Amino acid sequence: MRLVLGSGSPRRLELLAQIGVVPDAVRPPDIDETPNAAELPRPYCDRMALEKVRAVQAGADEVVLCADTTVALGRRIFGKPADAAEAAEFLVKLMGRRHDVITAVAVRSAERIWQKSVVTAVKMKRLSDTELNGYLESGDWQGKAGGYAIQGPAGAFIPWINGSFTGVVGLPLAETANLLRAAGVIR
């Protein structure tokens, strides 16, 4: 079976390489990622992974892997900030508090779909104005759910997590390996 990664994320490619998996192709899906009215974070994240895996074109000999990562504070979904002002708004709301990072993974082979979502509790420390502004100037917030990436400079802001570090990065490896095993991609 050939593996298609339905994601343009370089982090997901790096994570797959950690478990010895190199996709045969990369085909990021183009879907509308707008949450539905009153949609809760985990169902939203699960829906996004499913919509992505269904949107990727694949041949009969191909297995598609897609994922979605969402940052949630209570019922509020923090997606990828549109600009530095929105990134600042997200970070100000997250700092000093626990929040959830949800990553949903979906694997499709023909018409069969396997799915798993992982929720990790994360605590971000309170940031000084200097830390916040320095981080915003770095541009590292761009394209990152919640406006930060734990594997980058913002890792210095995260004193505690409870759950999957790789899930926070964007692909929970233990769960992903199990899904790929179920689909026959790895042994």
Q: Is 61 a catalytic residue?
A: no
Q: Give the span between the Cα atoms of 81 and 61, in whole angstroms.
A: 37
Q: Give the span between the Cα atoms of 31 and 79, in whole angstroms.
A: 14
Instruction: Name residue 185's beta-bridge partners.
Output: none
Active-site residue, selected from the candidate residues 24, 61, 68, 83: 68
> Which among 65, 76, 77 has a CA at the least distance from the CA of 177?
65
Task: Give, rounded to a whole angstrom, the gap between the first and last alpha carbons of the chain.
Answer: 12
Residue 91 CA to its chain's centroid (Å) = 17
Cite the active site residues: 68
